[in-house]
Structure 1
Amino acid sequence: MAAADQGGAPSGPAAPLELRDLLVELNDLKRVRSAGRTGSIAERLFAQGWGMLTGGASPEEVALDITATALAATRLCDLDAAFLASAGLSDAAVAEVLVSGFDAVTDALDPALRERLRERLQIRTEVVPGPLPGFVAALAQQPRAGVTCPGRARILLEPPENHAEHCLMVAVYGVALSPFYRADPATVFLAAMAHHFHNAAMPDAGFTGEMLLGDHLGPIMETTARWALDALDPALRDQVVRARAVLPDDATAEGRAFHAADCIDRVLQIAQHLNAASLTMQTVLDDMELVHAGPVKGFHDRVLADMRIP
């Protein structure tokens, strides 16, 4: 399957509909947190990915490892390898649990990519992380702007996501989407992980603020992005610069995969606020079985009925 011919002209669907449900569910990793762990799963995976990169792992290795971990976490959340091992599970049992979580959500993935990602969970490779550059924490502390449009007041939806969460999600989406565009997943992943380097130092005023900066926008973004790039050692810096070359347009397969991932994540971030606002008790009680089957289910139902809840 392909979204465009070699000349870039449209030749069929612009994105794979079969991945929609997976990408919607995966998006919640920006909102899942656990006791004793700072930040959301997405925020922590962003830091983990950069630690692997500065530790010397190849972009391909990091792209596959982080994406596989994120996909397993879609249902397992923070029941991750570290927790399962600390709870006494053997390496084989840990892998079995992670693969079961991965398999529960990945039927629609490209088969070849799915197998490569699955292998990452079955055979864990230990990578000694390197030091985290300052931009990692800065992006995690930098809120996204919300919905902005020149000439209109912004729409803020709380709590806001941060730039580390957004970059991580776009990176994982990009890997998942890469077979559809025939793109190199490592390049897409690295470009996405670095595409908001400028916001490590530059507060996010959204599209409105960018338009108000006018001719100053480009030089400011170039300067602030360079500050982040300069925090990397020369070899990794060069890799990141080459990957970021796909960001300006959709002229390449990697550019198309990145921009599809970026667009999908931006809209799904807002969609989850709207979905929460329209949630019904029928969905919660009937479809999701909030009061679920068990030895006291009948008693629970009577209590709710007699209390006239909901």
Structure 2
Amino acid sequence: MTFLMGPALLFCPADRPERYQKAAERADAVIIDLEDAVAPADKQRARGAILAQLGSAGDVPELDPSRTIIRVNPAGTEEFEKDLHCLKHTPYRHVMLAKAEGAAQLRELEGYSVIALCETAAGILNAAAIAAEPNVVGLMWGAEDLLASLGGTSSRTDDGGYRAVALHARSSVLLAARAFGKEAVDAVYVNIPDLSGLALEAQDGAASGFASKACIHPNQVAVVRGAYAPSETDVAAAAELLDAAAAAGAGVFQHKGKMIDGPILRHAESTLRRAGR
């Protein structure tokens, strides 16, 4: 199972089917949300909305299944079981498991390609075991739910930066995902008007190794895409460096006054991959 959907993933409430197609058109992938975005009283209606947009035979959806993720409710809940019953009647096989806390929960989603959303203390501590499960293709972390699970009041300080515990969780999920060859998804940026702050955070995520960032508003998509796309200058420098490495042959060498070895070359390769080369 692979997870190569692009850098900007956009959440869309499952009980707002009139927004499905618009969200899918704006982003690299759409996350149809059956969990936090839907009030408890509306969850059954939301599942009905997912089924209603299928073709008459149940196999001609308005949304591209390869670019659609369904966020389901936490494992062990009645809503989770109802979500799975709904999904059995759809072509959607990419799932985001809310509040993932242990490997056993992922085994309940056999046959699905799963992004495990680690957003509780238990989920962060068990991130490596979760990432090791074969049907897990990616890990995401969630700042606000995490701080709520800890009894905290805010994931960020007054200057807008993450608190130390949130940064620890972010790094833990990224390290666990990449240790097992899975992709990592950065948390949402909840200050919607602050596009400059979003850009800085997304740039840091891309430079750190995150594959993508989740968005909660269409206006955030272009900013995230821009942050994850290397500049022409960066691409040219990376290509020049790799050409110099090929000319130098194996081993350490100097390039423009800097020592170049294997890790630096892999950085350059990552830049070209993000540029689609």
Higher RCO, 1 or 2 (CA under 8 Å, sep at least 6)?
Answer: 1
TM normalised by structure 1 equals 0.24
Pair member with larger Rg:
1
More helix by share: 1
